[in-house]
Structure 1
């Protein structure tokens, strides 16, 4: 599904920190995915609540019309693509899927999931970065460890999606691991990860 174009002119009209702006877009998408009209006060509240966990986040006193226009465009892009993916695969979209903890790593939440596919959202002007692939790689490791221990299921696929540009990378984890694991088996990869986690715990 093609996404609505976010022009440089529209983006430059917003003076919000970019992380805050696209967090607002994410809140808009959550609203739309619930089948509700955009409730801007609730979107503002949800955005500010999430951004408060970042000590360097500058919380705005208010949001301008330009902020709302960008957030609605990007939020609708995200909601539309996720709903289309859900319909195409005939799977229920899960918001904030559980990411299991491991050793000293606590439990967390992902962005979205469809069945055994993990979907992570990245609103950036740049291509997907090494850190993005590292993140989904670690999420797989955590799911694999949990599956072995009988605490959950293993992610089979990941999707990186940018609702700002429409760019998407969709890849089976087996293929991804064959590229990045230097010939290691899944068990070998998990054992290496466990050794690194254990050494970090002892720092």
Structure 2
């Protein structure tokens, strides 16, 4: 999904759409590295990928399908009855924050089936990944300088889980996003010792039933151009300070 709708200070925008910052921080995240990471993807048991033929007939945009399915899945994770009017209303309010959001004029029966399938896959998948631990919805992402604080999708203990609901493989932007989230979290933990940073990250696609799990420190060693984490934190601070003038 695209994040150009989000403010320039949002960390997702920084990771995807502000030229140069991610390339400076993670120069080793080249297409070959992304392809190698995607080759480690796995599937979860008891979950079937959603038919692409059925998806091609939906009237919703992919982002709206994700938003409504995610809202429904949150009810399921809380063991609450997912009433359609409730989770659709939540999804519409979330989408209304974006000036180019395409609010559906109606939700067809075919759309409702797809929403249920994706939401069920998401809730079941998160529970399987959690292995009995609590699934935290919308974990906070610390800000830094002009980068605003934000929220992730989910987390389980010390594992961040980001959800991508597309027909494509995971992209460099997806890996940059979770790396930047982790780096912001790690930077925050340096000044707040009681806050323990995430150790691993998962990118999960409930449409295709596949996911990639990475150890953040291991991935950092592969893509950071030989720097250690503290050196990358210092580079992040210097880079965002230098970028302030270009964005103002």
Same fold (TM over 0.5): yes
User: Are the aligned partners of 1:116 and 1:156 in contact in 2 as well (CA < 8 Å)?
Assistant: yes
* 2:114 corresponds to: 70
Q: Give, in whole Å, the separation in 2 of the partners of 1:177 and 1:138.
A: 10
1:124 aligns with 2:166: yes
SS of residue paired to 2:206: coil
CA RMSD across the alignment = 1.3
1:82 aligns with 2:118: no
1:160-191: CA deviations, max 9, x gaps?
00000011001111111011011101111111
Higher relative contact order (CA 8 A, sep 6+): 2
User: Are the aligned partners of 2:122 and 2:206 in contact in 1 as well (CA < 8 Å)?
Assistant: yes
* 1:202 corresponds to: 245
1:56 aligns with 2:100: yes
Which runs of 5 or more residues in structure 2 are unaligned?
Answer: 1-44
Q: Give, in whole Å, the separation in 1 of the partners of 2:216 and 2:53.
A: 38
Work out the number of aligned pairs and report it. Answer: 201
Q: Give, in whole Å, the separation in 1 of the partners of 2:46 and 2:163.
A: 16
User: Are the aligned partners of 2:143 and 2:150 in contact in 1 as well (CA < 8 Å)?
Assistant: yes
Give TM-score, length-normalised by structure 1: 0.95
* 2:134 corresponds to: 92
Give the drift of 1:13.
2.3
SS of residue paired to 1:160: strand
* 1:109 corresponds to: 151
Alignment of structure 1 residues 142-157 onto 2, 5 Å: 142-150=184-192, 152-157=195-200
Which runs of 5 or more residues in structure 1 are unaligned?
Answer: none
SS of residue paired to 2:166: coil
Give the drift of 1:112.
0.5
SS of residue paired to 1:67: helix
* 2:38 corresponds to: none
Give the drift of 1:153.
2.5
Q: Give, in whole Å, the separation in 2 of the partners of 1:15 and 1:51.
A: 16
Q: Give, in whole Å, the separation in 1 of the partners of 2:169 and 2:113.
A: 23
1:170 aligns with 2:227: no
1:92-136: CA deviations, max 9, x gaps?
111110101111111111011111110000011110000000000
Give TM-score, length-normalised by structure 2: 0.78
Alignment of structure 1 residues 177-196 onto 2, 5 Å: 177-196=220-239
* 2:32 corresponds to: none
